[in-house]
Amino acid sequence: MNSMDDSDVQVINVSRRAFLGAISAVGLVLVVGCSRRDTASADPPKYGADSMPHGWVDNPLAFVAIAADGTVTVVCHRSEMGQGVRTSLPMVVADELEADWRRVQVQQAPGDEQRFGNQDTDGSRSVRHFFAPMRRCGAAARTMLEQAAAAHWGVPSGEVTAVNHEVVHGPTNRRIGYGELAVAASHLKVPAGDTLRLKAPSQFRYIGKGEVRLVDGPDIVAGRGMYGIDTVLDDMLFAVVARPPVYGGKVGSYDAAAALKVPGVVKVVEIPGTPPPSEFQPLGGVAVIARNTWAAIQGRQALKITWQDGPNVVYDSKAYRATLEQAARTPGEVVRNQGDVPAAMARAARRIEAEYYIPHMAQTPMEPPAATARIVDGLCVIWTATQAPQATRDRVSKRLAMPSENVTVNVTLLGGGFGRKSKPDYVVEAALLSREMKGVPVKVTWTREDDVQHGYYHTVSVEHLEAGLDAAGKPVAWLHRSVAPSIRSIFGPDPRHEAPFERGMGLVNVPFGIANLRVENPAAEAHTRIGWYRSVSNIPHAFAIQSFVAELAAAAGRDPKDYLLELIGPAQRVDPRTMGDSWNYTESPERYPFDTGRLRRVIETVSREAGWGRKLPPGQGLGIAAHYSFVTYVAAVVQVAVSGKGELTIPRIDVALDCGPQVNPERVRTQIEGACVMGVSNALASEITFKAGRVEQSNFNDYQVARIDAAPREIRVHLIASDFDVPLGGVGEPGVPPIAPALCNAIFAATGKRIRQLPIRDQLAAHGSQPAANG
Amino acid sequence: MELDVNGQMRTFDAQPEMPLLWVLRDLLRMTGTKFGCGMALCGACTVHVDGQPVRSCITRVSTLAGKKVTTIEAMAEDSIGKRVQAAWLELGVPQCGYCQAGQIMSATSLIRQNPRPQDADIDKAMSGNICRCGTYPRIRAAIKRAADNAGSAG
Ligand code: FES
Ligand code: FES
């Protein structure tokens, strides 16, 4: 998938070699020198793409090649994991380039942030951060083609225009194709970014239209899509690893005799572990290397290993929950405080209190982690599904003690990521094993059991909320204590508190006009690897807050939608820093204030579209929730039906989304549909628990995710239209957080049963069904 | 050992208990059939054996003598399979796409057995196929689309 036919590619800067290879030979210094912001002038704070490692690159030499036959190749430097980025970003380049999409090919960049800018495909920011650079990239290439055509005809460049893969001389109506211009254009200087003429949105061919089909679709449906697990090389070997069942544990001793007798097993070798905090390095263990994956799995079963568990053997989810609850009932570090909460609570007409529990979860992308490594002549080549190509390159080079330029990371399609594949521990394993086998290619495959039991888990949390209501049922005081181990614990000494980026995910930045408001974050210790999971800390924060608001509405005898809107109050643009959020998804607080008007609008839109308040049969209900995350505004209405036996079905979910302008509305819709299903999985079924430091689940039998029969039968996505001068919001993640609370609010409407603990699993069966008033 | 895969006799060396999945992927290097769980829980590895959908991860290769194995790589030559693939593209079903080979194999055999599947039929036939990206609503719609097209094409 990553290779191209060398013969017919004419790179815009003159080379007949394969495009990406050619650039490292001729274009690199230029690319870096002329495109990236000067990192030395560090004075003003950096936001958005500027704030990311290696920032952005908009140079067409890095991203665009045009062959003599006119074929345009656009490089995608972000990882494709189902969000459609290999379609959306090249489409942006093609649009500004005035390229005919049917003549555009997409090539995946290897890990190289010097050349391409930041590649960390996470945080819902690929299009948000690279829409503008990719537009400039396409416009610069278009300008070079126009200049080449003008020179060719000897006419002023103002008289020529690029139109649909050719340049036209208006006065004479002469035309010349991009393929014919490529060589001449390649000799020209790349125009400076501020001299470029970008299209007016009315001139867009593809951007905002949603008519471009997935570039990988035909390969995918034919079984030709190549994922990390699909790498095939001559003479390759296949490995699986037995890892310490407890985080921080290690191999005491092992006996490989039986494993080595399994036909096909070639070698058994110990991988040294990395004591916590183990960051992205392997957990260690015993690897079985074989002639095929099956033999490796059989060999691993035959290993006899004695583990030394280490201190995390105490980790027990039941006991830990009690620890979290205790912490949540005790004052802790204050992370936002306004007014006088204790005094207001004391004066309140009523006090309401609720506690919510959200468990660990595992990302379980359908493609489990897998990587192939080969080392030849001091050069290590990797093929893998990774969300973090540069981090992967850095970790491999560090672990192999090789200069980073000697490590190539080829990025395949990802069979899902959801945050798991931001952590390249599995790739380092492959590199170590290839080295162990004298450089022979080795593919490490994680079985599903490995994935479920040795992951980087979504945190576990207890969210404790208290509110004081006045006589009319309006909150006059709000106290929220959130207790959850932090992702930062994998990077250094356990901080035992949520990081600013975790608190900024809906904990401190609650958009409610409550005069007395206090948010605390008592300490919690991590006993396993905590990692990003699609939407991250927004999941527990939104679940607790949006459930609690509905509880308050019920206590006040009010409609939950009206109550939510009243709590948000009138439309205003709030500086996130005034809400204790200094992070703001790395975006500028001026460009990206918290706009409560936009939050109101998604709530109003979704309730109108979903027919909020409509009559439903007994046992059915509607629930609403809204949440701002990844600088995008989302509201959801979930319709549930609960049978007499407590069986739950979801006839319909409506979601309204305001992410600013939608570059590829079709893929925005699919991301929201997927987010609804993942939100339903989170709510209904998914839970990782620990006992004696070990994960108790192992595969999709006991770690459950939504299947088609449990999925919402119908999902309606309502996109808020927006001008292209509005800054872009994220799309991949913000759909998830409101789903679980909207679902539980719907269950309350249908049955009167309030869910405060996820997953719901059989909580409704225990309750039986006493249908309450309709939602 | 010999096996009829997509109409071709393929020869390889394998332990009789090796699951078909690993024969396909590692020995024959046909990677279209995916590994997702190894325990018949996710459907990613679905292939057809004599036209019936089976989970190749738990199907020992020794049980397949004299049978015909069909994989995703041959679906374009299957009259229903190709309509399913086309419907998948028309409705933009795939996200990451990893589960979709298995989904298409299951959907194709569903439509072959039941040319007009209703929602309950789809739930039943497809609930063994997990899609973590959550493409289920589009899978449902695409199955109906493919079934319509298959029907109208006679
Ligand atoms: S891999 Fe066979 S059903 Fe999951
Ligand atoms: S499309 Fe990603 S798992 Fe189904």
Q: What's A651-691 look like in SS3?
A: EEEEEEEECCCCCCHHHHHHHHHHHHHHHHHHHHCCCECEE
Do B48 and B110 fall within a single domain? Answer: no
Model confidence pLDDT, tens digit, residues A672-718: 999 999 999 999 999 999 999 999 999 999 999 999 999 999 999 99
User: Where does a domain end: B49, B74, B99?
Assistant: B74
Do B27 and B67 fall within a single domain? Answer: yes
Model confidence pLDDT, tens digit, residues A404-440: 999 999 999 999 999 999 999 999 999 999 999 999 9
CB-CB neighbours of A614 under 10 Å: 10
Model confidence pLDDT, tens digit, residues A6-59: 333 334 433 333 444 433 332 222 222 233 444 445 578 899 999 999 999 999
A55: nearest Cα among A71, A73, A41: A41
- Residue A675 inside a domain? The answer is yes
Do A407 and A473 fall within a single domain? Answer: no
A332: nearest Cα among A503, A95, A201, A167: A503
Q: What average pLDDT score do residues B45-57 get?
A: 98
Relative to beta strand A174-177, strand A237-242 is unpaired
The pLDDT, as a whole number, for residue A427 is 98
* Gap between the Cα atoms of A143 and A137, Å rounded: 10
The pLDDT, as a whole number, for residue A44 is 82
pLDDT at residue B128 greater than cutoff 90: yes
Kindly report the CATH number assigned to the domain that includes residue A57. 3.30.365.10
Mean pLDDT value across chain A: 93
Q: How far is the CA of A415 from the centre of ligand 2 (A)?
A: 7
B37, A369 Cβ separation under 8 angstroms: no
Judge: B137–A713 Cβ closer than 8 Å, yes or no: yes
Q: Would you list the DSSP string of B65-90?
A: TT-EEE-GGGGGGSHHHHHHHHHHHH
* Gap between the Cα atoms of A508 and A524, Å rounded: 18
Model confidence pLDDT, tens digit, residues A196-239: 999 999 999 999 998 999 999 999 999 999 999 999 999 999 99
Q: What average pLDDT score do residues A181-196 get?
A: 95
Q: What average pLDDT score do residues A592-618 get?
A: 98
Kindly report the CATH number assigned to the domain that includes residue B47. 3.10.20.30
Handedness of CA A596, A600, A605, A606 (dihedral sign): positive
Q: Which of the 8 DSSP states describes residue A464?
A: E
What is residue A197's three-state secondary structure? coil
Do B104 and B56 fall within a single domain? Answer: no
Handedness of CA B136, B138, B143, B144 (dihedral sign): positive
Do A201 and A234 fall within a single domain? Answer: no
Do A651 and A679 fall within a single domain? Answer: yes
- Residue A720 inside a domain? The answer is yes
* Gap between the Cα atoms of A624 and A542, Å rounded: 12
Q: Would you list the DSSP string of A127-167?
A: HHHHHHHHHHHHHHHHHHHHHHHHHHHT--GGGEEEETTEE
- Residue A184 inside a domain? The answer is yes
B22 — contact with chain A (CB < 8 Å)? yes
Which ligand number lies closest to the CA of residue B25?
Answer: 1
Beta-strand ranges (E) seen in A8-134 are 64-66, 72-76, 104-108
Do B59 and B7 fall within a single domain? Answer: yes
Do A739 and A667 fall within a single domain? Answer: yes
Domain that includes residue B86, residue range? 75-153
User: The sheet that has A174-177: what strands, in order across it?
Assistant: A160-163, A166-169, A174-177
Kindly report the CATH number assigned to the domain that includes residue B147. 1.10.150.120
Do B26 and B84 fall within a single domain? Answer: no
User: Where does a domain end: A420, A445, A470?
Assistant: A445
- Residue A475 inside a domain? The answer is yes
Do A715 and A596 fall within a single domain? Answer: yes
Mutate to test the interface with B, among A215, A216, A221, A673 (most CBs of B within 10 A): A221
Atom number of ligand 1 nearest to Cα B34: 1
Do A264 and A410 fall within a single domain? Answer: yes
List CB contacts (< 8 A) between A224 and chain B.
Answer: 32, 73
Do A617 and A540 fall within a single domain? Answer: yes
Distance from CA of A391 to the nearest CA of B (A): 22
B137 — contact with chain A (CB < 8 Å)? yes
Nearest neighbour of A715 by CB, restricted to B31, B99, B137: B137
Q: Which residues pair with A253 in a beta bridge?
A: A306
Cβ(B132) – ligand 2 distance below 6 Å: yes
Helices (H) and strands (E) in chain A, counts: 22, 28
Do B66 and B96 fall within a single domain? Answer: no
Do B15 and B52 fall within a single domain? Answer: yes
Mean pLDDT value across chain B: 96
Do B82 and B131 fall within a single domain? Answer: yes
- Residue A193 inside a domain? The answer is yes
For residue A164, what are the contacts with CB-CB under 8 A and spacing of at least 6?
A98, A99, A100, A205
Q: How confident is the model at residue A766 (pLDDT cuts 50, 70, 90)?
A: low
User: Where does a domain end: B74, B94, B111?
Assistant: B74
Do A387 and A521 fall within a single domain? Answer: no
Please give the residue of chain A at the shortest CA–CA distance from B104. Answer: A221
CB-CB neighbours of A197 under 10 Å: 11
Q: How far is the CA of A264 from the centre of ligand 1 (A)?
A: 22
Do B101 and B61 fall within a single domain? Answer: no
Kindly list the distances between the CA atom of residue A716 and the CA atoms of A198, A603, B137, in Å, as whole numbers in the listed order. Answer: 34, 14, 10
A701: nearest Cα among A367, A357, A415, A448: A448
Give the angle subtended at the CA of B29 by the CAs of B28 and B33, to the nearest 5°.
100
pLDDT at residue B78 greater than cutoff 70: yes
Domain that includes residue A603, residue range? 317-361+456-751
Do A511 and A659 fall within a single domain? Answer: yes
Q: How far is CA B125 from the centre of its chain?
A: 12
Rg, chain B, Cα only = 15
pLDDT at residue A768 greater than cutoff 70: no
Atom number of ligand 1 nearest to Cα B42: 4
The pLDDT, as a whole number, for residue A222 is 98
- Residue A153 inside a domain? The answer is yes
Do B126 and B59 fall within a single domain? Answer: no
Which ligand number lies closest to the CA of residue A674?
Answer: 2
% of chain A residues with pLDDT over 70: 93
Cβ(B97) – ligand 2 distance below 6 Å: yes
ipTM: 0.98
Q: How many domains does chain A have?
A: 3
% of chain A residues with pLDDT over 90: 92
* Gap between the Cα atoms of B11 and B76, Å rounded: 24
Q: How many domains does chain B have?
A: 2
A724, A208 Cβ separation under 8 angstroms: yes
Model confidence pLDDT, tens digit, residues A300-309: 999 999 999 9
Do A626 and A493 fall within a single domain? Answer: yes
A616, A637 Cβ separation under 8 angstroms: no
Give the angle subtended at the CA of A368 by the CAs of A488 and A421, to the nearest 5°.
35
Do A420 and A548 fall within a single domain? Answer: no
- Residue A151 inside a domain? The answer is yes
CB-CB neighbours of A3 under 10 Å: 10
The pLDDT, as a whole number, for residue A8 is 36
Nearest neighbour of A414 by CB, restricted to B34, B96, B101: B96
A414: nearest Cα among A86, A667, A19: A86
Burial degree of A315 (CB within 10 A; 0-12, 13-18, 19+): buried
Do B133 and B111 fall within a single domain? Answer: yes
User: Where does a domain end: B74, B93, B116?
Assistant: B74
Do B63 and B87 fall within a single domain? Answer: no
Nearest neighbour of B134 by CB, restricted to A217, A264, A676: A676
The residue whose CA is least distant from atom 3 of ligand 2 is B131
Q: What average pLDDT score do residues A353-382 get?
A: 98
Model confidence pLDDT, tens digit, residues A543-588: 999 999 999 999 999 999 999 999 999 999 999 999 999 999 999 9
Do A638 and A582 fall within a single domain? Answer: yes
- Residue A758 inside a domain? The answer is no
| Inter-chain CB pairs, A–B, below 8 Å | 189
User: Where does a domain end: A445, A475, A501?
Assistant: A445
